A and B are shown apart, each in its own frame.
Chain A
Amino acid sequence: MPPELLRLEGVHTHIGQYHILQGVDFSVPRNELLMLLGRNGAGKTTCLRTIMGLWQASAGQVHFDQRPIQRLPTPDISRLGIAYVPENMGIFAGLTVRENLVLAARAGDPEEERLERIFRLFPAMKTFWHSHAGNLSGGQKQMLAISRAIVEPRKLLLIDEPTKGLAPAIIGAMVEAFRELKRDTTLLVVEQNFHFARSLGDAVAVMDSGRIVHTGTMAALAADEALQQRLLGLSLESHQ
Chain B
Amino acid sequence: MKTDWIPLALVPLLAFAALPLVGSIPTWLTLTVAGLAMGMMIFLMASGLTLVFGLMDVLNFAHGIFISVGAYGAATVLTRMTKQMQAESLASDLSAMVPAVIAAMALAAVLGWFFERVLIRPVYGDHLKQILITMGGLIVFEQAIHVVWGADIIPLPRPGTITGSFIVGEAAIERYRVAAVVVGVVVFALMWAVLNRTRIGLLVRAGVENPEMVESLGYRIRRLFVGVFVAGSALAGLGGAMWAMYQEQVTPAMGMQVLVVIFIVVIIGGLGSVGGCFVGAMLVGLMANYTGYLAPKLALGSNILLMVLVLLWRPRGLYPVGKA
A residues with a Cβ closer than 8 A to B are 52, 54, 73-75, 78-79, 84, 86, 88, 90, 92-95, 99, 102-104, 106, 131-132, 134-135, 148
Contact = CB atoms under 8 A, between A and B. Distances in A.
B322 A78 contact: no
Given A103-B203, A132-B1, 7 more contacts: A75-B215, A75-B220, A75-B221, A78-B215, A92-B210, A93-B209, A94-B205
B216 A134 contact: no
The contact size tier of chain B is 20 to 34
A88 B324 contact: yes
B218 A95 contact: no
B322 A104 contact: no
Given A134-B1, A135-B1, A90 B216 contact: yes
Nearest to B321: A94
B208 to A, nearest CB: 8
A95 B1 contact: no
A106 B217 contact: yes
Give 4 nearest A-B pairs by CB, closest first. Answer: A78-B218, A132-B1, A90-B213, A93-B322
Interface in B187-214: 199, 202-203, 205-206, 208-210, 212-214
B219 interface: yes
Contact of A95 (B206, B212, B220): B206
Contact of A103 (B1, B202, B215, B221): B202
Contacts of A84: 216
Contact of B215 (A74, A88, A99, A131): A74
Contacts of B324: 88, 90
A140 to B, nearest CB: 14
A74 B211 CA distance: 11
A74 B322 contact: no
A150 to B, nearest CB: 13
B216 A103 contact: no
Given A102-B202, A134-B1, A135-B1, A92 B218 contact: no
Identify which of B1, B203, B210, B216 gathers the most chain A CB atoms within 10 Å of its CB. Answer: B216
A147 B42 CA distance: 41
| Interface SS, B side | helix
A135 B2 CA distance: 11
A75 B218 CA distance: 4
Contacts of B205: 92, 94-95
A54 B212 CA distance: 8
A54 B1 CA distance: 31
Interface of B: 1, 199, 202-203, 205-206, 208-210, 212-221, 321-322, 324
B202 A54 contact: no
Given A95-B202, A134-B1, A54 B322 contact: no
A62 to B, nearest CB: 15
Contacts of B217: 78, 103-104, 106, 148
B206 A92 contact: yes
A95 B221 CA distance: 17
A94 B209 contact: yes
A103 B219 CA distance: 10
B216 A106 contact: no
Nearest to B214: A103
A54 to B, nearest CB: 6
Contacts of B216: 52, 54, 74, 78, 84, 86, 90
A86 B1 contact: no
Nearest to B220: A75
Nearest to A78: B218
18 contacts: A54-B212, A54-B215, A75-B215, A78-B217, A79-B218, A84-B216, A86-B213, A90-B212, A90-B324, A94-B205, A94-B208, A95-B206, A95-B209, A102-B199, A103-B217, A106-B217, A106-B218, A106-B219
Contacts of B199: 102-103
Contacts of B218: 75, 78-79, 106
A72 B313 CA distance: 45
Contacts of B219: 75, 106
A104 B212 CA distance: 13
A51 to B, nearest CB: 11
Contacts of A92: 205-206, 209-210, 213
A238 B178 CA distance: 71
Contacts of A52: 216
Nearest to B207: A92
Contacts of A104: 217
Contacts of B1: 131-132, 134-135
A132 B219 CA distance: 22
A131 B2 CA distance: 10
B322 A99 contact: no
Contacts of A90: 210, 212-213, 216, 324
Contact of B206 (A88, A103, A134, A135): A103
A73 B216 CA distance: 10
B202 A99 contact: yes
Nearest to B209: A92
Most buried by B among A74, A88, A132: A74
Contacts of B213: 86, 90, 92
Nearest to A104: B217
